[in-house]
A and B are shown apart, each in its own frame.
Chain A
């Protein structure tokens, strides 16, 4: 084979092998652009280019089987499986169907005589102009206004064949709360836009609850919703101009937008739909929903504050408190809390030298902190406790520290895991609350192994206690 000593061919073969075995398409993406460069590069490297080979396969560096197309996608799966499934379905369906085949029989002798009987039409009485049922029905329902959402009926996906459809669970927030518990199933053709889906939902809604109080689809938004029907207001509603296929969520909530929030950009053409009476009704509805809105607003503000606190939690902040101990007098300390560590510095006191022991600064990395909680609330001060894992090295193990551990460690020692020790402090209510909350937030953010273990042992202990009670 002349091909095997042709380095262009070999190179191209290797490259094609790379491309064809790589299902992610990455090789193709990287390699297909540089074909020409490599070719010219090889040419310039060759001292004596072989005139024959350069004539032959100058342009055919790719294998013949591989077609390089310019959109680099992941290779498509063969649709054989889908095809088989389709056939299977058709087979199943036809099993339920009676098939009658046309068979042409030549002998007309078998023909039934009574099959073709001539009917005498000469006395064919034409019925009188009695009102038919349809006419009566239409006339009695003559005042029924045309459903304004009827134009969206064609986006209904139920029963469609050969068209991709999407099924949704829609929670309708305009319903009274007791009716809101169950979502309305809506099936929509996949090619429709969000606005058209909203229109379809309103159409289905109007079948059950009438068209009163309903507005143009532009006044509504579809929000991502939990399976339990709670509308997730953290995300904006789905853009009503986008096709629904863009969004993967299948549980959505329909929410009516308040005046002036969203309707700015679209012309309001729904005004003609409503009589004054209906306007009044909508007003009461909107007042009600305004109360909801206020509540919602408060919640939002709360959420923002929480969020801010969460964001600021790892920042350094120092608190003033008194450290308590059973054996020693209380010392005033500065507790510095940051995302990395907790530092406890004794505040230099007048005449501190007179104290029988020396108070040293303590520092614990935040990873060793297991818990922080309020233990006691009194009239003018609050006691709180910081629990830490003793195995994790607390940096300067001062005599103060050790003396504390000796006094308190007994209560919280577990044989198999780290032993936990604690510091007890007291402070005024505000400081104590702030500190505890800050430390808790940091712990939540970091979730160190110490904390996890601590919580686990605590849980175990609680259960033990419980079972003990039951036995008793």
Chain B
């Protein structure tokens, strides 16, 4: 190695590079590689059998996987839209508050302060058909006689999960949209009022275009969140009943650890990441367009 003299910056960065390589790059490469093998945790030797795209091809014809994929997209669509509507409403209410706005803002953040696992347990308890708060309340109020099998019937379980997701994350939308509302200059709104707008028209033509970029930022964050939803579902239904609430990542987790088919699971995971990338690209484009539209300088 005569004459090889690494520069000081390289040497100083080397420890960081080594650590990153060990904990990020190497596992990434290994997992990518294993998605091309029939690797099973119970049979380590299978790690060295290269099967090319067989795992990927089998995913394409795997009905369970496509159901989980579709269900994830459905949950994403429902949760994001409802969260945005609720978050927008919440933000506009808080913005109207002239006193105690700081406290309201802090209170709004509460759901985000709980671990998703705990949120899962909490909602599992609330939606329990025998002892749950929800059924208890519905029955006490005389809305229904029978216990509703929230987490037992497939559609209801999906709704329950969506509710838990929405409860825990609406505040992301609320906070970001509120930031937009607070940053918004007030004169265009007054100009719109003078120009003949009703309150609804003022919102539709002036406030909303301004707040839209902020909503798209929240959308981007949340689409990544929901696309990798795992913990709440794992706790509340564990993908059940009979796989009716199985999402992409609960399926990946089950395939990897319960079925021990790590190679197949990794192939699913890499495929699922495409979904996240697609959503990210989509919302980033929307965000850029919305920003250009309001002439934002950030």
Decide whether A and B are members of one complex: no
**Which residues of A come within 8 Å of B, CB atoms?**
none
